[in-house]
A and B are shown apart, each in its own frame.
Chain A
Amino acid sequence: MAQATVDTSAHVQAPATVPAEHQQHPIKLYLVVWGLLFVLSVCSYLVDYIGLQGYLRWSLIVIFMLLKAGLIVAVFMHMAWERLALIYAILLPPIAVLVFVALMAPEAHYTMLTRLEFFGAAPGN
């Protein structure tokens, strides 16, 4: 009888305490990340406002985008404090999306070239 009651209390307590001690960070951390996201957003907006063009524009857009995404996933979504088993399960499969991009980019070029070939440089619409 005594064993049964102690047993259940151990079971009830265990799941409640583990995540609580796991995800406790100071509020300041979130405010700092918030500020960084603001600065990065202003930077990416300035890329358009100043009117940068070409590879400089595209590389800056991608860099600011990846930094923002990294901050959100790592800190706001707490991925930085998870075990590798979850990190790999969630962050590696999107590589398939990049493979899809690599497949579709030449496909799109091919479509454009055939359009130019068969409809001329300036088709109706």
Chain B
Amino acid sequence: MAESVQTPVSQPHSQAHSGAYRQPGGMRGFVSDWASDQQAFKNVSWGKAMMWIFLLSDTFIFGCFLIAYMTARMSTTVPWPNPSEVFALTIAGHEIPLILIAIMTFVLITSSGTMAMAVNFGYRHERRKTALLMVLTAILGAAFVGMQAFEWTKLIHEGVRPWDNPWGAAQFGSSFFMITGFHGTHVTIGVIFLFIVARKVWRGDFDTGKRGFFTSRKGRYEVVEIMGLYWHFVDLVWVFIFAFFYLW
């Protein structure tokens, strides 16, 4: 009797373990995944898949912003302000071009690195290290937003408005406030959620299977990875903004 019970039960269990390796890989795997029943993303949970799809939609939003900026910059007959000079800072008597933006870039990349390590420690169930790395990520993110606020204040004092600026094409201000403002909003939301998830990790919610207050679902350490996907995306968008808006 025990034998007959064991066999049908152990089958789905072993499939779940080695299923990823038994499925065909490459192009054949792609076709069979998408042609299969119920689930196209075989070893990706719905939470992770939905975060990816959200990030794809966000890619289109930022893509449209950057295209609007490209169109404005290409179609204006007035010279575009030189970002190298606009975003220069005078430190110890020397005018260093783009220095604040460079520091912001390094801060955001560093926060991405700490986030990646937090995900790693999360899957090892080392909750203290995970929570501390997430808090460090959030602090670096908050520092980024702080520097952006400083940059906005400086430019507004120098007379940059969405409709006007002292150096050239009027569309510079609207593009700048639109793109960096939307990105800064993303960073701010990320910082808030980093603190929320870090608190859950610190309390051990994902070890004890405590239910979340909003969805009343049991959290898993995968939540840290999904949070990480969002955070890395914010860094990813900054890579494109840095290249196209500040360096171009």
Contacts and interface: CB of A to CB of B under 8 A. Distances in A.
Is this pair of chains taken from one and the same complex? yes
Interface of A: 2-3, 6-7, 10, 13-25, 27, 30-31, 33-34, 37-38, 41, 44-45, 47-49, 58, 61-62, 64-65, 68-69, 72-73, 75-78, 82-86, 88-90, 93-94, 96-97, 100-101, 104-105, 107-109, 111-112, 115-116, 119, 121-123, 125
A85 B119 contact: no
Nearest to B164: A125
A34 B113 contact: yes
Given A27-B117, A82-B44, A94 B74 contact: no
10 contacts: A3-B9, A17-B17, A21-B17, A22-B43, A31-B113, A34-B112, A68-B239, A72-B239, A86-B52, A94-B56
B33 interface: yes
Given A47-B247, A76-B116, A83 B74 contact: no
B186 interface: no
Nearest to A6: B9
B182 interface: no
Contacts, number: 204
Contact of B52 (A7, A90, A100): A90
A76 B114 CA distance: 10
Majority DSSP secondary structure for residues of B touching A:
helix
Given A48-B98, A77-B229, A112-B77, A6 B5 contact: yes
Nearest to A7: B9
A109 B75 contact: yes
A105 B73 CA distance: 10
A64 B12 contact: no
A57 B60 CA distance: 26
A100 B67 contact: yes
A-B pairs with the 3 shortest C-beta distances? A108-B74, A85-B33, A14-B16
A44 B247 contact: yes
Interface in B90-126: 97-98, 102, 105-106, 109-110, 112-113, 115-117, 119-120, 123-124
A85 B34 contact: yes
B12 A10 contact: yes
A3 B40 CA distance: 30
Interface string B117-141: 1011001100000000000000000
A105 B59 CA distance: 19
A94 B105 CA distance: 24
B49 interface: yes
Contact of B236 (A18, A72, A116): A72
Contacts of A107: 71
Nearest to A98: B63
B21 to A, nearest CB: 11
Contacts of A58: 248
B29 A49 contact: no
Contact of B113 (A17, A18, A24, A30): A30
